[in-house]
Structure 1
Amino acid sequence: MYVVLVNYTAPIQEIDYALPDHAEWLAKQYEQGNFLASGRRNPRTGGVIIARPMLRGKLDAILATDPFAVQHLAHHEVIEFSPTKTAPELREINEAVAH
């Protein structure tokens, strides 16, 4: 499982301009089952994405298609972790404790 920190590298006006494309990209990732949660950081310096367990190369390829990355408006910091404890609502997506 992954936590992805999206760190803005451009002025917020440029981020806002690209936001509709980024939102469409996020929707596609949810439809494909890749992401579990996402949202803005507070203060607004970027965002956070919780990604489903997958091969790291696959996640890197997905993140490379984020309009924020394509337009060089942000970079992604990926934190991989293996949850050993999960709330009941999340157990079926946590491969480490689901079986």
Structure 2
Amino acid sequence: MFVVLLTYKAPVEEVDYLLPDHAKWVERHIQAGEFLVAGRQNPRTGGVIITRPMSRTRLNAILCMDPFFVQHLATHQVIEFSPTRTAPELRLLNELLPQSA
């Protein structure tokens, strides 16, 4: 799994101009089951995405199509992790842990 930290490189006014396109990109990947959650950082300096398990190559291909990245408005920091503990409410989201019956 990955945590992706987006950091804005441009003023928020420029980011807001592309926000509808970025939101459509995020929603497409949520609907495809690739992203689990996404949202703004507080304070508003970027965003956070948590993905399902996938190859780093696949994730890179997805991230390079982010309108914020394409227009050089944000950078992506990718943190890979292997979940070893999951709250019961989220266990079905974690394909890496055995599922209880």
What TM-score, normalized by structure 2, do the two folds share?
A: 0.93
Secondary structure in 1 matching 2:90: helix
Aligned mates of 1:91, 1:57 — CA distance in 2: 25
Secondary structure in 1 matching 2:97: helix
Cα deviations by residue, 1:4-53 (Å, 9 ceiling, x for unpaired): 00000011111000000000001100111000011100110000000110
Aligned mates of 2:44, 2:98 — CA distance in 1: 35
Unaligned runs of 5+ residues in structure 2 are none
Per the alignment, residue 15 of structure 2 pairs with 15
Cα deviations by residue, 1:53-73 (Å, 9 ceiling, x for unpaired): 000100010000000001010
| Displacement over 3 Å in runs of 4+ | none
**Pair 1:81 & 2:81 matched:** yes
Percent of paired sites with the same residue: 63
Aligned mates of 1:98, 1:49 — CA distance in 2: 24
Per the alignment, residue 34 of structure 1 pairs with 34
What TM-score, normalized by structure 1, do the two folds share?
A: 0.95
My pick for the range that moved more, 19-28 or 85-94, is: 85-94
Aligned mates of 1:29, 1:2 — CA distance in 2: 14
Secondary structure in 1 matching 2:96: helix
Structure (1/2) with the larger helix percentage: 1
